[in-house]
Structure 1
Amino acid sequence: MTTPPAPPAVGKGASVKVDQQLYDDLATMMRTGMKLSDALRSAVAIVAGTYRAAWDTGRCPDGVRPTITRYFIDRYDTGQEPERGTVQTSVPTPYRERPTERPTPPGPGPTAGTTRQPTRRT
């Protein structure tokens, strides 16, 4: 197994070639008033925090890139929005699935009282 590449040293600059996808993504984030460096820090913090949560909770093995398939956005309430140009510094909390099966409500028929697997919405 090869050693993963190391990030730049603290205090050093990072360089990345901007392709059309990165340009579009940065333009989207910067519409909130963020500076380029803030947009990059915010995006990396959210994704890295999600990776750490996946590894810490055993959702996938350490060092394996998790596949992020869902996200949750807090409801927007007028007057409650963050100040323009500010950066999200907190990492989202992981969604926790129900740890146990839910019982099926009693009903007619031979399967009354049995348990079923929780329904997953996609």
Structure 2
Amino acid sequence: MATAQSNQPTPPKPGDRPSFRVDDQLAADLAVIMRTGVNLSDAVRQAVGHLADVYRVGWANGVCPKGTAPQVLAYQLHQATAPKPATSRYDASDARPTHLVRRRLAGPPPGVHLPTAYGETLLGRPTGQQPRPDAGRPARA
């Protein structure tokens, strides 16, 4: 799917039916995801959607340059109160799984890699060094 002008592959269009070979590792990974009750199509949608969200957050927060893969250093898990499989009844659904609908990007990760412009853009004001709220208090004796 690569064009002659660039080495970047062209993503499939909505409605396309891509095919790929399932090796032992992919089969094992899909089996883990499908233990939650989702079908194969939704397992692939969830996995690709999750990875795409990681990339979007990394690029939006300046963790890495756009077009490069961010390195995941940690993640946080929690048990949902009422877990429901995101399986669709019709395999050719053109909508994203319900767990991704209206999802917002995560906030910026902490670290010195974040440019000051990020906060200034979001807040609409300079964010320079802010004095601590307790800076006016006298020190303890």
Instruction: Confirm or deny a common fold (TM above 0.5).
Output: yes
Amino acid at match of 2:76: F
Secondary structure of 1:51's counterpart equals: helix
More helix by share: 2
Deviation at 1:94, TM superposition (A): 4.7
Q: Distance in 2 between matches of 1:72 and 1:92?
A: 15
Q: String of CA shifts for 1:2-56, please: whole Å, max 9, x gaps.
A: 3410111110111111011100000000000001000000111110011011011
Go from structure 1 to structure 2 and tell me whether the alpha carbon gap of 1:68 and 1:91 turns closer, same or farther (over 3 Å shift): farther
Match of 2:82 in 1: 81
CA contact (8 A) 1:50 1:91 kept: no
| Shift in CA distance, 7/59, structure 1 to aligned 2, threshold 3 Å | same
1:48 equivalent in alignment to 2:52: yes
Unaligned runs of 5+ in 1: 104-122
Match of 1:19 among 19, 23, 35: 23
| Equivalences for residues 49-68 of structure 1 within 5 A | 49-68=53-72
Structure 2 equivalent of residue 96 of structure 1:
109
Coordinate RMSD, CA, aligned: 2.5
| Per-residue deviation, 1:66 | 1.1
Secondary structure, counterpart of 2:75 in structure 1: coil
Shift of 1:97: 1.2
What is the distance in 1 between the residues matched to 2:49 and 2:104? 7
User: How far did residue 95 of structure 1 move?
Assistant: 5.7
Alpha-carbon deviations, 1:62-99, whole Å to 9, x = none? 0011111211112x26xx1322x225324772562167
**Counterpart of 1:81 in structure 2: which amino acid?**
A
Gap regions ≥5 residues in structure 2: 87-96, 113-128, 133-141
User: What letter corresponds to residue 96 of structure 1 in structure 2?
Assistant: P
- The 1:71/1:92 distance shift into structure 2, 3 A limit, reads farther
Seen in structure 2, the aligned counterparts of structure 1 residues 43 and 9 have a Cα distance that, compared at 3 Å, is same
TM-score, normalised via structure 1 length: 0.68
